[in-house]
Structure 1
Protein backbone atom coordinates (compact mmCIF):
# COMPACT_ATOMS: atom_id res chain seq x y z
CA UNK A 1 0.00 0.00 0.00
CA UNK A 2 1.56 3.29 -1.07
CA UNK A 3 -0.83 5.69 0.69
CA UNK A 4 -2.26 4.44 4.01
CA UNK A 5 -3.93 7.78 4.83
CA UNK A 6 -5.87 7.72 1.57
CA UNK A 7 -6.91 4.14 2.34
CA UNK A 8 -8.15 5.22 5.80
CA UNK A 9 -10.14 8.13 4.36
CA UNK A 10 -11.65 5.87 1.70
CA UNK A 11 -12.69 3.37 4.38
CA UNK A 12 -14.39 6.19 6.33
CA UNK A 13 -16.12 7.50 3.19
CA UNK A 14 -17.35 4.03 2.21
CA UNK A 15 -18.55 3.23 5.74
CA UNK A 16 -20.56 6.45 5.95
CA UNK A 17 -22.15 5.94 2.52
CA UNK A 18 -23.00 2.31 3.38
CA UNK A 19 -24.35 3.48 6.77
CA UNK A 20 -22.19 1.05 8.74
CA UNK A 21 -21.99 1.35 12.52
CA UNK A 22 -18.21 1.25 12.64
CA UNK A 23 -15.16 1.37 10.40
CA UNK A 24 -12.06 -0.74 11.08
CA UNK A 25 -8.63 0.23 9.73
CA UNK A 26 -4.99 -0.64 10.49
CA UNK A 27 -3.64 1.51 13.32
CA UNK A 28 -1.11 4.33 13.06
CA UNK A 29 -0.63 7.46 15.16
CA UNK A 30 -1.42 9.73 12.20
CA UNK A 31 -4.73 7.94 11.57
CA UNK A 32 -5.54 8.11 15.28
CA UNK A 33 -4.88 11.87 15.30
CA UNK A 34 -7.12 12.33 12.24
CA UNK A 35 -9.87 10.34 14.02
CA UNK A 36 -9.39 12.50 17.12
CA UNK A 37 -9.88 15.70 15.11
CA UNK A 38 -12.96 14.21 13.42
CA UNK A 39 -14.38 13.30 16.83
CA UNK A 40 -13.83 16.77 18.34
CA UNK A 41 -15.44 18.37 15.28
CA UNK A 42 -18.46 16.04 15.49
CA UNK A 43 -17.97 14.05 12.27
CA UNK A 44 -17.59 10.67 14.03
CA UNK A 45 -19.09 9.44 17.30
CA UNK A 46 -16.00 7.82 18.84
CA UNK A 47 -12.84 5.88 18.09
CA UNK A 48 -10.88 3.23 19.94
CA UNK A 49 -7.96 0.87 19.52
CA UNK A 50 -8.38 -2.85 19.05
CA UNK A 51 -6.71 -5.92 17.61
CA UNK A 52 -7.64 -8.17 14.73
CA UNK A 53 -7.47 -11.98 14.53
CA UNK A 54 -3.74 -11.96 13.72
CA UNK A 55 -2.92 -9.69 16.68
CA UNK A 56 -2.30 -6.51 14.65
CA UNK A 57 -3.42 -3.20 16.14
CA UNK A 58 -6.51 -1.69 14.54
CA UNK A 59 -8.38 1.59 14.79
CA UNK A 60 -12.14 1.21 15.27
CA UNK A 61 -14.11 4.35 14.37
CA UNK A 62 -17.79 4.56 15.37
CA UNK A 63 -19.66 6.41 12.63
CA UNK A 64 -22.11 9.22 13.41
CA UNK A 65 -25.46 9.77 11.72
CA UNK A 66 -27.84 12.71 12.10
CA UNK A 67 -31.49 11.75 11.44
CA UNK A 68 -30.30 8.82 9.33
CA UNK A 69 -27.95 10.93 7.20
CA UNK A 70 -24.17 10.53 7.58
CA UNK A 71 -22.39 13.34 9.43
CA UNK A 72 -19.58 13.07 6.87
CA UNK A 73 -21.02 14.24 3.55
CA UNK A 74 -17.66 14.68 1.84
CA UNK A 75 -14.09 13.61 2.48
CA UNK A 76 -11.27 14.38 0.06
CA UNK A 77 -7.55 13.64 0.18
CA UNK A 78 -5.70 16.79 -0.93
CA UNK A 79 -1.97 16.13 -0.58
CA UNK A 80 -0.87 12.83 -2.12
CA UNK A 81 2.49 11.03 -2.10
CA UNK A 82 3.06 12.17 -5.69
CA UNK A 83 1.95 15.76 -5.10
CA UNK A 84 2.55 17.24 -1.67
CA UNK A 85 0.74 20.52 -1.03
CA UNK A 86 2.13 22.88 1.61
CA UNK A 87 0.48 26.13 2.67
CA UNK A 88 1.46 29.10 4.81
CA UNK A 89 -1.06 29.92 7.50
CA UNK A 90 -2.25 32.94 5.49
CA UNK A 91 -2.81 30.83 2.34
CA UNK A 92 -4.75 27.88 3.80
CA UNK A 93 -7.90 27.45 1.66
CA UNK A 94 -11.30 27.51 3.32
CA UNK A 95 -13.51 24.44 2.92
CA UNK A 96 -17.01 25.39 1.72
CA UNK A 97 -16.52 28.95 3.03
CA UNK A 98 -15.90 27.69 6.57
CA UNK A 99 -18.61 25.00 6.72
CA UNK A 100 -16.04 22.19 6.48
CA UNK A 101 -12.59 21.67 7.95
CA UNK A 102 -9.15 21.07 6.53
CA UNK A 103 -6.69 18.88 8.43
CA UNK A 104 -3.04 19.93 8.23
CA UNK A 105 0.17 18.29 9.35
CA UNK A 106 2.30 21.01 10.97
CA UNK A 107 5.47 21.14 13.00
CA UNK A 108 3.19 21.45 16.06
CA UNK A 109 1.27 18.28 15.20
CA UNK A 110 -1.96 17.60 13.33
CA UNK A 111 -4.36 20.57 13.43
CA UNK A 112 -7.54 21.75 11.77
CA UNK A 113 -7.32 24.78 9.51
CA UNK A 114 -8.80 27.30 11.96
CA UNK A 115 -6.27 26.31 14.64
CA UNK A 116 -3.43 26.71 12.13
CA UNK A 117 -4.55 30.24 11.31
CA UNK A 118 -4.90 31.07 15.01
CA UNK A 119 -1.47 29.63 15.94
CA UNK A 120 0.20 30.97 12.76
CA UNK A 121 1.37 27.51 11.71
CA UNK A 122 1.44 26.34 8.12
CA UNK A 123 1.99 22.82 6.86
CA UNK A 124 0.88 20.03 4.56
CA UNK A 125 -2.86 19.91 3.85
CA UNK A 126 -3.81 16.27 4.44
CA UNK A 127 -7.55 16.30 3.68
CA UNK A 128 -10.77 18.30 3.58
CA UNK A 129 -13.92 17.16 5.40
CA UNK A 130 -17.43 18.54 5.09
Structure 2
Protein backbone atom coordinates (compact mmCIF):
# COMPACT_ATOMS: atom_id res chain seq x y z
CA UNK A 1 0.00 0.00 0.00
CA UNK A 2 1.36 3.37 -1.05
CA UNK A 3 0.92 6.16 1.50
CA UNK A 4 1.67 9.08 -0.83
CA UNK A 5 -0.33 8.48 -4.02
CA UNK A 6 0.69 11.80 -5.60
CA UNK A 7 4.41 11.07 -5.22
CA UNK A 8 3.79 7.56 -6.61
CA UNK A 9 2.01 9.02 -9.65
CA UNK A 10 4.77 11.57 -10.32
CA UNK A 11 7.49 8.93 -9.93
CA UNK A 12 5.75 6.59 -12.38
CA UNK A 13 5.48 9.42 -14.93
CA UNK A 14 9.13 10.44 -14.38
CA UNK A 15 10.38 6.85 -14.78
CA UNK A 16 8.28 6.22 -17.90
CA UNK A 17 9.59 9.47 -19.43
CA UNK A 18 13.21 8.47 -18.79
CA UNK A 19 12.85 5.20 -20.71
CA UNK A 20 10.53 6.80 -23.31
CA UNK A 21 7.47 4.62 -22.70
CA UNK A 22 4.33 5.65 -24.56
CA UNK A 23 1.87 4.59 -21.82
CA UNK A 24 2.10 4.59 -18.03
CA UNK A 25 -0.31 2.83 -15.65
CA UNK A 26 -1.37 4.63 -12.45
CA UNK A 27 -3.80 3.47 -9.72
CA UNK A 28 -6.99 5.55 -9.72
CA UNK A 29 -7.67 8.14 -7.03
CA UNK A 30 -9.69 11.36 -7.26
CA UNK A 31 -6.48 13.40 -7.05
CA UNK A 32 -4.69 11.38 -9.75
CA UNK A 33 -7.64 11.91 -12.11
CA UNK A 34 -7.60 15.66 -11.38
CA UNK A 35 -3.82 15.92 -11.93
CA UNK A 36 -4.08 13.88 -15.15
CA UNK A 37 -6.83 16.24 -16.39
CA UNK A 38 -4.59 19.25 -15.67
CA UNK A 39 -1.64 17.60 -17.46
CA UNK A 40 -3.82 16.96 -20.52
CA UNK A 41 -5.29 20.47 -20.44
CA UNK A 42 -1.82 22.06 -20.22
CA UNK A 43 -0.44 19.86 -23.04
CA UNK A 44 2.01 17.74 -21.03
CA UNK A 45 0.31 14.43 -21.91
CA UNK A 46 -1.72 13.27 -24.93
CA UNK A 47 -4.69 11.76 -23.11
CA UNK A 48 -5.70 9.43 -20.27
CA UNK A 49 -8.21 6.60 -19.97
CA UNK A 50 -9.77 4.66 -17.12
CA UNK A 51 -9.59 0.88 -17.24
CA UNK A 52 -10.25 -2.00 -14.87
CA UNK A 53 -8.20 -5.15 -14.35
CA UNK A 54 -8.87 -7.79 -11.65
CA UNK A 55 -11.31 -5.48 -9.78
CA UNK A 56 -8.68 -2.71 -9.59
CA UNK A 57 -9.02 0.53 -11.50
CA UNK A 58 -6.11 2.17 -13.28
CA UNK A 59 -5.45 5.28 -15.34
CA UNK A 60 -3.54 4.84 -18.57
CA UNK A 61 -1.65 8.04 -19.36
CA UNK A 62 -0.43 8.55 -22.91
CA UNK A 63 2.85 10.47 -22.66
CA UNK A 64 3.86 13.12 -25.18
CA UNK A 65 7.20 13.33 -26.99
CA UNK A 66 8.72 15.77 -29.50
CA UNK A 67 10.44 14.88 -32.78
CA UNK A 68 12.24 11.78 -34.00
CA UNK A 69 14.55 11.73 -30.99
CA UNK A 70 11.42 11.47 -28.80
CA UNK A 71 12.35 14.25 -26.40
CA UNK A 72 9.82 14.20 -23.51
CA UNK A 73 7.48 17.20 -23.20
CA UNK A 74 7.76 16.91 -19.40
CA UNK A 75 11.38 17.80 -18.70
CA UNK A 76 11.06 17.96 -14.91
CA UNK A 77 8.37 16.96 -12.43
CA UNK A 78 8.88 17.62 -8.70
CA UNK A 79 6.78 16.92 -5.60
CA UNK A 80 6.67 19.98 -3.33
CA UNK A 81 4.23 19.38 -0.47
CA UNK A 82 4.88 16.04 1.22
CA UNK A 83 3.02 14.20 4.00
CA UNK A 84 5.80 15.11 6.45
CA UNK A 85 6.06 18.75 5.37
CA UNK A 86 3.03 20.48 3.87
CA UNK A 87 3.69 23.60 1.78
CA UNK A 88 0.96 26.22 1.50
CA UNK A 89 0.84 29.43 -0.47
CA UNK A 90 -1.38 32.48 -0.01
CA UNK A 91 -3.18 34.06 -2.94
CA UNK A 92 -0.78 37.02 -3.00
CA UNK A 93 2.32 34.79 -2.90
CA UNK A 94 1.62 32.03 -5.45
CA UNK A 95 4.66 30.24 -6.93
CA UNK A 96 6.03 31.06 -10.39
CA UNK A 97 7.52 28.02 -12.09
CA UNK A 98 10.26 28.89 -14.61
CA UNK A 99 8.83 32.39 -15.12
CA UNK A 100 5.39 30.87 -15.90
CA UNK A 101 6.76 28.47 -18.53
CA UNK A 102 5.92 25.61 -16.17
CA UNK A 103 2.99 25.07 -13.83
CA UNK A 104 2.44 24.43 -10.15
CA UNK A 105 -0.43 22.05 -9.38
CA UNK A 106 -2.30 23.25 -6.30
CA UNK A 107 -5.01 21.87 -4.06
CA UNK A 108 -7.39 24.73 -3.21
CA UNK A 109 -10.80 25.09 -1.63
CA UNK A 110 -12.22 25.17 -5.19
CA UNK A 111 -10.47 21.90 -6.20
CA UNK A 112 -7.19 20.90 -7.86
CA UNK A 113 -5.91 23.56 -10.29
CA UNK A 114 -2.82 25.27 -11.66
CA UNK A 115 -1.14 28.27 -10.03
CA UNK A 116 -2.28 30.45 -12.94
CA UNK A 117 -5.94 29.52 -12.45
CA UNK A 118 -5.62 30.05 -8.67
CA UNK A 119 -4.15 33.50 -9.31
CA UNK A 120 -7.09 34.28 -11.60
CA UNK A 121 -9.55 33.27 -8.87
CA UNK A 122 -7.53 34.98 -6.14
CA UNK A 123 -7.21 31.93 -3.89
CA UNK A 124 -4.29 30.11 -2.30
CA UNK A 125 -3.79 26.53 -1.21
CA UNK A 126 -1.40 23.61 -0.89
CA UNK A 127 1.33 23.41 -3.56
CA UNK A 128 1.37 19.77 -4.67
CA UNK A 129 3.99 19.72 -7.44
CA UNK A 130 5.91 21.67 -10.09
CA UNK A 131 5.92 20.55 -13.74
CA UNK A 132 7.93 22.01 -16.60
TM range (shorter): over 0.9
Give 1:93 shift. Answer: 1.4
Q: Which runs of 5+ in 1 are unaligned?
A: none
In 1: Cα distance, 2:124 partner to 2:90 partner? 4
In 2: Cα distance, 1:35 partner to 1:83 partner? 23
Give 1:14 shift. Answer: 0.7
Residue number in structure 1 paired with 2:85: 83
TM-score, normalised to structure 2, is: 0.95
In 2: Cα distance, 1:66 partner to 1:39 partner? 15
TM-score, normalised to structure 1, is: 0.97
SS in 2 for 1:60: strand
In 1: Cα distance, 2:91 partner to 2:76 partner? 23
Residue number in structure 2 paired with 1:65: 65
1:58-109 Cα offsets, whole Å, 9 max, x none, are: 0110000011100100000000000001111111110011110000000000
RMSD: 0.7
Runs of 4+ in 1 over 2 A off after TM superposition: none
Q: Which runs of 5+ in 2 are unaligned?
A: none
